[in-house]
Each structure stands twice: as structure tokens, then as C-alpha cells.
Amino acid sequence: HHRTLERVSELDWKVIDDLLPMKTTGKHFYRVHWLIADGSHKVEGYNLDVTYPPVKLRITLSTNAGSSEIQLIRAGELIFGKTPDLVNFGWYSPTYGEKIPALSFRMSAESAHAVQFITSIHFDDGKSHHASSR
């Protein structure tokens, strides 16, 4: 596994995860998993939009694998995707014995080759960031 973090702009980041198989034969199962603070949320395609007024967050997942699956799990319940509920996902535990709902946003892929996941993160603070407005 090799991870690269790139600051694209003041409010945009890109995380690139390159995953290599340990064995050279057969298909391998890969997954990128992000745990995100709970908020008003919506999934469209490969995008997760989360609102924490007045800030908005958009996370976009992509991969070079031929096929992939997106899941969103909150507090152990599947919100989006095809896999059955995963009761241990979608929680944040700041201390022993405490569970707070969170969002688990995951992309899974199968491939016989190396896989690259790209996570694009965009923050929208509600302010204009155009050069002409400065």
C-alpha cells in the first residue's frame, strides 16, 4: 500500500491509494474506507455530500478497477449499497464504552492486478473563493 496526499487548492484535497497484490495469481479484494463525522448526508453515484451548516463536504471515490461497489453505513445500518447491514460500522468511539453515530463511506473492488483508489475531498464553506472577489 502506498498513499499520496495532494492539496489541489485551498478547499480541495486528493488522496491516492495504490494497492498491490501480495500474490500474483487470482483475484484480490480491495477496499478504501472513510469514517466521517455524522451530518445531513446524500449519496449520488460515487459522491457523498455531508452538510455541517454552514460548511458542506463532498467526497468522491473512484478506482481503476473494472467494477466496484459503494456503501454508506450509519450507526450499523446500510444507507446505500448492496451488502447486508454491517453492525460494527458507522460508529465513532471517543472513549471506551461510548458509541456515536458516524458515516462509513466505502468503495470495494475485485481485481487480479494492482488497484488504485482516488478520493477527492472538497470543502464548501459558503464563501466565494474566486480571484475576482478578493
Q: Dump pLDDT digits (tens) for 102-126.
A: 999 999 999 988 999 999 999 998 7
DSSP state of 88: T
Separation of alpha carbons 59 and 104, rounded Å: 12
Q: Is the pTM of this model over 0.75?
A: yes
Would you call 64 helix, strand, or coil by DSSP? coil
Q: Dump pLDDT digits (tens) for 27-57.
A: 889 999 999 999 999 999 999 999 999 999 9
